[in-house]
Chain A
């Protein structure tokens, strides 16, 4: 396996850190502190539910904003600023560059999410709730959020290989929202008698990644256990899409003239 993507990934992570991307953690920490103080005063018995719900939703939204807005600029920024020219003159293949950029942003998201998880745990600890075994479902829910973020990043990277950040943002958001409502789209198709609409809704259902599958926030908040099989299924599902998207991105980017 080539070590080149790793070199690019570390630099992409360094860029995110130096561009103060991780400052969002301060906002998250403040949100958790505020929520913990407020919930501690007004809620009786449902502190865990509120804190976990709020914390996981915030982790998901903060991560999503990062994945989309940084993801769509991963390639575009390098071309626009011409930093890519001197880079591709090194013994670096275009797919290695793409995979490196992707891995760098995913690494940033993982570290960002890890810090947020610690802040969430601190907030739960503050409201005086001891940690129990079923809290494992919170970690699984966070893992699912990370899988969905990795998938969103791959979508954003794919679009950034051939379109502007503005369009890439719209496309990626469009895919994400469609994926969140994938089950509803399929159900809508089942209700209609229009064969064309049926075909269209099932095509969307099978083509667009189903982001609904990665949402276990409610289960985690209620302390319900999450079946282990779902962990494998979601992991394989996300990996399959990520690999396909990276292959497609590489194929497009390898043919692109960098004018």
Chain B
């Protein structure tokens, strides 16, 4: 098996806080994961989960308290490895006195392309992100969405093998989001590895081969989107009509939701047969029994809801 494109082992990041900087706030806690070459990997988590911290660690913008990471088999400390990677920071801001064409030419210079090669690349990438018409406009006149596209353009100007995108859909209108999704899929078609962070779960579900869910600096789950949601408790939906002459038990009546003249009952898979027995005992007419296909969003929301105490505990644990 090929070595992973991204290999993270026990990555941890603490920040000193407080006036004397003696207390520690743990932003990332012992993160380990692997991303295979050629896949689209979604890095999910609510704001403050540690997504941007992870990306900054991988880019060498901040330094880990513990742990290691390799990209394409080379340590993240190796700056030469940066020839093979592209990075779009969160809410990117670029030199606003430059035009989009000048900005891309500037970044392309770091990959030592000839002037003719740079010109050709810049034109190609501007077209790819839909900025050809604004190529010679200064970035200070760009909208947020246009800046985001310019950011993606600079991340791919040198044909990197691994592309890191921090919240790439942020600030984009539906058309812009669709275009970014197309770019990401296009990169995958070209055999590139795309690692992107997002809190827009539908995007991740639509695009990703694998996802990791991060919450309060800790990895909560990793795998294919389908597998990760099924790791959670499977639930069943029972649709029924109440029987003649018999009323529902108070417990069932409380749990069932009326839908028109019918009722809908949402139960864990393990309790399905007991619920069916109860419904039969009440002469209820069972209309359908179907598994509820949980979405990534359901999984995510349950995860976040389930752990408010853990949230507080994690913050406290980081305070030494």
Q: Do the beta carbons of A85 and B95 come within 8 Å of each other? A: no
Q: What CA separation (Å) do A216 and B38 show in the bound complex?
A: 65
Which residues 179-205 in B have Cβ within 8 Å of A in the complex? none
Which residues 33-86 in A have Cβ within 8 Å of B in the complex? 81-83, 85-86
- The digit string for B135-165, where 1 denotes a CB below 8 A from any CB of A, is 0000000000000000100110010000010
Q: What CA separation (Å) do A87 and B158 show in the bound complex?
A: 13
- B interface residue count range (under 10 / 10 to 19 / 20 to 34 / 35 or more): 20 to 34
Q: Is the interface of A mostly helix, strand, loop or mixed?
A: loop
Q: Do the beta carbons of A7 and B106 come within 8 Å of each other? A: yes
Which residues 13-50 in A have Cβ within 8 Å of B in the complex? 14-15, 18-19
Q: Do the beta carbons of A3 and B112 come within 8 Å of each other? A: yes
Q: What CA separation (Å) do A7 and B112 show in the bound complex?
A: 10
Partner of B110 from the list A7, A15, A255, A259 (CB cut-off 8 Å) is A7
Q: Do the beta carbons of A89 and B82 come within 8 Å of each other? A: yes
- Given contacts A85-B89, A86-B151, A91-B80, A258 and B56 within 8 Å (CB-CB): yes
Q: Do the beta carbons of B110 and A11 come within 8 Å of each other? A: no
Tell whether B60 is near chain A: CB-to-CB under 8 Å.
Answer: yes
Q: Do the beta carbons of B86 and A89 come within 8 Å of each other? A: yes
Q: Do the beta carbons of A86 and B154 come within 8 Å of each other? A: yes
Q: What CA separation (Å) do A88 and B94 show in the bound complex?
A: 13
Q: List 15 A-B contacts (CB under 8 A).
A: A4-B110, A7-B106, A82-B89, A83-B95, A85-B92, A86-B154, A87-B107, A89-B87, A89-B89, A91-B82, A91-B111, A92-B79, A93-B79, A257-B62, A259-B62
Q: What is the interface of chain A, defined by CB distance below 8 A to chain B?
A: 3-4, 7, 11, 14-15, 18-19, 81-83, 85-93, 255, 257-259
Q: What is the interface of chain B, defined by CB distance below 8 A to chain A?
A: 15, 56, 59-63, 79-80, 82-83, 85-89, 91-95, 97-98, 106-107, 109-112, 151, 154-155, 158, 164
Instruction: Contacts A91-B82, A91-B110 known; list 6 others, CB within 8 Å.
Output: A3-B112, A15-B95, A83-B93, A90-B107, A93-B79, A258-B62
